[in-house]
Amino acid sequence: MRLLLFIFSLFFLVNGYAQEKKKKDKPATQTYQINEELQYVYPRPKFFNFITGIPRNYATLGKETIKQQNLKWLGLTVATTGILIAGDEIFLDEAERVRDVGVTKKHHYKILGGMVDVPTNTSATLYHFGHGNTSLIVGLGLLTVGGIKKDYRAIHTSSEILEGLFTLGFMTQGLKRVFGRESPNAATQPRGAWHGFPGWNEYMENTSHYDAMPSGHVATLTSTVTILAKNYPEVKWIRPVGYTMIAAMGIEMMNSGVHWASDYPLGFLIGYSVGSVVANSKITKVKTEKFSDRKTGFDTHLTINRVGKDNLLGVQIVF
């Protein structure tokens, strides 16, 4: 938690400096050629974009959820969750096999500078992929590069990551209280009991008895990967690397008794949806033509030209 607060504070300070310095000298937009047929246009970044966009995100998410083309993903999430619930105990046992390669159940940390928690073993490192601080570190790196190079895309992407974290925080914490599912470590029955809508104090004092569903870690990392991939579609390794990190973290969280496998589909759906909505709201996509609208190798045109007193009929071939 202290690491998260430290990085967030640093992110906030650098964000303000990068976006507001010499604002009058900055162009209104910057255009990026994604490929031969597509451009991304970004407006001049504004400091509080990551806050002012949150209400719009929720409104957009509500509209997108009820669209017919998106209902299939909600249905797939529900079906996948149901299937995984049936095998949760088995998946939990299988996940413990990672202990054979040195991944322990317990997370270990050390305090850096008297205030920052730093993971010191493999399980803690994997767990922190989705802890929020990893996303902030990535965002801070993009923000620093964007500020130095005056790169609107990098600055917007860093701001979107922070906006995604804020948007997710309210959603995941709210849904955890709605479902009230026990984590494996606190389970009082197979697959964990469900006690929805616990009191505020009860939840805070016995969090592991209520916060398994959905996985906030999966939602957080998925949102960050989605935002990066949508802003940098030409960087093909972002999704494979990001999804591998999500999978490794998911296995570790089962190994350490933090989550059931069935906690992940909803977390992934929420993270992907939030990341998509946040990124799409900042990007203006402009289609460009590679050569022209011609689909054939050449075009022919009949021409009539007057030379002196004579009319000449000709054929023009355009390659």
pLDDT at 239: 97
Give the structural domain span for 218: 2-318
Tokens 């159940």 belong to which residue? 105
Number of domains, the chain: 1
- List residues bridging with 29 in a β-sheet: 43
- List residues bridging with 286 in a β-sheet: 39
Q: Residue 69 is encoded by which pair of tokens? A: 């083309």
pLDDT at 295: 45
Estimate to the nearest angstrom the gap between the alpha carbon of 243 and the chain centroid: 11
- Which amino acid is located at 283 in the chain? I
| Torsion over CA: 198, 200, 201, 206 (sign) | positive
pLDDT at 296: 43
- Per the CB < 8 A criterion, the answer to whether 16 and 9 are in contact is no
pLDDT at 155: 92
**Rounded Cα–Cα distance for residues 98 and 246 (Å):** 16
- List residues bridging with 312 in a β-sheet: 305
- Secondary structure E strands in the chain: 29-35, 38-43, 109-112, 116-119, 284-287, 299-307, 310-318
pLDDT at 292: 39
Count the neighbouring beta carbons within 10 Å of the beta carbon of residue 299: 11
pLDDT at 24: 55
Mean pLDDT by 10 residues, the chain (319 residues): 59 60 71 92 86 90 88 94 97 95 92 80 94 90 90 94 93 95 96 94 94 97 97 96 97 97 97 96 85 44 54 51
